[in-house]
Amino acid sequence: MTSEATRSGTSRTGTGLSACIAALLIAHRTGDRDAMASLVRQVAPLLWHVARSFRLDVGSAEDVVQNTLLAFVRHSGEIAEPQAALRWLIVTARREALRSIQLRDRVELVDEAARTMPAPAEDEPERIVLAQATQRVLWRNIAKLSERCRQLLRVIAFAERPDYAALSSALGMPIGSIGPTRGRCLAKLRLLLSADSEWSSS
Amino acid sequence: MTGPGDLGALARLAEELLDDEDGRLLDEIARLYDRIDPMPADLVERIGFTLTLAHMEIELARLTLESRTPVGARGEERARTVTFSSESLTVMVTITPTAHRECRIDGWIAPGAPIRVELRSDRGSRDAIADVDGRFDFAEVSCGLVQLVFHPTPDIEVQLRSPVVTPAVQV
């Protein structure tokens, strides 16, 4: 899992997930039987973080990942431009997540039992024991960002630099949210961290 | 903290090109979320069950409720009750450990009807027909990932338009 997260290493200048997904989609179309399974493994963590960034409970987030990938497998022949496949996946995951929220809000009006589902981890940072001081300080400052910024940073953290623009637009964030420039969300986080004495010393 | 000077600094910082420190910070963010909220380790494997049905028209059921109750005098074994819901059906399933690495699955479909139920696992698939009340069971199920498929069955009161598929669950 961690190796997935840090696939790009600290440089983050790989060819990007878009290119990787595109190559696997092309391989799948030309009859490579393992290509779709690799594609699913590559992109699933990113879809998970998209779903959870909408504060869905675990079960609903799993459904979002499943439904998005099922739709992708079914429509993989119709995606004209393989380079756009990653964007297609994120747009679909976002739509599925929003649909899940609508469904939940409707159900909650009549069914209090739905509330017994575990709350998303993001709601309870205090309960999470972060052993490393760096991560505690980082979490404390991420929590000060707007929800939209937290969502954007969480998702792009699992991608590479060439993907940032496509991902932020797929998430419905304005152009210029990130890449090639830093954008406001990352800038804000850097300002917050530089003002946190524990961050500079950690 | 949010004075006009800070806003100027924010705007300037936002317009700069991404640098290595941003890369390191994003790596740290990825590590953080991987730690506090990672994708479940078996999710890809579970989704794989459903993806093999991608060629079929299917109706996906959601896992809507899950609870555990102790069984046996000392309550060391725990039976799980899982409820799946879809537009057409609701299914309550109780999974009870029986022998070493085996369990028994008892299910109840609502609305009740003698629907053909398929149990899919790594080892292949088995069928059962529910009774008129919608009750069905599978004995001696090996531990591992399983998925239930409720098939459209001719000549019964409940007519499904397409197979209803549950997410794969660990038993």
- Is A48 close to B39, i.e. CB distance below 8 A? yes
Determine the pLDDT at residue B7. Answer: 77
Determine the pLDDT at residue B79. Answer: 86
Closest CA to B98 of B135, B144, B147, B139: B139
User: The tokens of A167 are what?
Assistant: 């991902």
- What's the mean per-residue pLDDT of chain A? 83
| Residue A192 C-alpha, separation from nearest chain B C-alpha, in angstroms | 9
> H or E element: which one contains B43?
helix B43-51
User: The tokens of A160 are what?
Assistant: 């590479």
Residues 6+ apart with CB under 8 A from A176: A183
Model confidence at A114: pLDDT above 50:
no
The residue written with tokens 């079929």 in the block is B56
Asked whether B119 and B139 are in contact (CB, 8 A), the reply is no
Mean pLDDT confidence for B119-141: 95
Closest CA to A183 of A159, A152, A158: A152
Mean pLDDT confidence for A61-86: 93
Tell me how far the alpha carbon of residue A68 is from its chain's centroid: 13
Closest CA to A52 of A85, A3, A97: A97
Model confidence at A26: pLDDT above 60:
yes
Mean pLDDT confidence for A153-173: 92
Q: What gap in Å lies between CA A159 and CA A164, rounded to an integer?
A: 7
Determine the pLDDT at residue A74. Answer: 93
Find which of B1, B47, B68 to mutate to test the A interface (most A CBs within 10 Å of its CB): B47
What burial letters (b/e) apply to A167-185, b meaning 16+ CB within 10 Å? bbebbebeeebbbebbbbb
* B67-113 pLDDT per residue, tens: 887 766 665 667 899 999 999 999 999 999 998 889 999 999 999 99
- Is A157 close to B29, i.e. CB distance below 8 A? yes
Strands (E), B1-76: 59-60, 62-71
List chain B residues with CB under 8 Å of A181.
Answer: 14-18
The amino acid that residue A103 corresponds to is: L
Determine the pLDDT at residue B3. Answer: 55
List chain A residues with CB under 8 Å of B167.
Answer: 62-63, 66
Determine the pLDDT at residue A22. Answer: 95
Residue of B nearest to A63 (CA): B62
- Is A121 close to B37, i.e. CB distance below 8 A? yes
- pLDDT band of B57, cuts 50, 70, 90: very high
Determine the pLDDT at residue B74. Answer: 61
Determine the pLDDT at residue B130. Answer: 97
Determine the pLDDT at residue B70. Answer: 72
- Is A154 close to B29, i.e. CB distance below 8 A? yes
Q: Does the complex come out with an ipTM higher than 0.90?
A: no
* B2-31 pLDDT per residue, tens: 555 677 899 999 999 999 999 999 999 999
Determine the pLDDT at residue A127. Answer: 52
- Is B20 close to A10, i.e. CB distance below 8 A? yes
* A176-201 pLDDT per residue, tens: 788 888 999 999 999 999 999 988 76
The residue written with tokens 């972060």 in the block is A130
Determine the pLDDT at residue B75. Answer: 58
Q: What gap in Å lies between CA A198 and CA B19, rounded to an integer?
A: 22
Tell the burial category of A100 from Cβ atoms under 10 Å away from its Cβ (0-12, 13-18, 19+): buried
List chain B residues with CB under 8 Å of A40.
Answer: 44, 47-48, 51
Determine the pLDDT at residue B66. Answer: 82
| Residue B1 C-alpha, separation from nearest chain A C-alpha, in angstroms | 9
Residue of B nearest to A36 (CA): B51
* B115-128 pLDDT per residue, tens: 999 999 988 999 99
- Is A184 close to B63, i.e. CB distance below 8 A? no
Q: What is the pTM of this model?
A: 0.84
Asked whether B4 and A168 are in contact (CB, 8 A), the reply is no
- pLDDT band of B65, cuts 50, 70, 90: confident
Residue of A nearest to B13 (CA): A187
Query: In this predicted model, which residue has the larger pLDDT, A126 or A16?
Result: A16
* B161-171 pLDDT per residue, tens: 999 999 999 89
Percent of chain A past pLDDT 90, that is, above it, reads 58
- Is B37 close to A52, i.e. CB distance below 8 A? yes
Residues 6+ apart with CB under 8 A from B134: B108, B109, B110, B111, B112, B113, B115
- Is B51 close to A181, i.e. CB distance below 8 A? no
A179: alpha, beta or left? (left if phi > 0; alpha if psi -120 to 50)? left
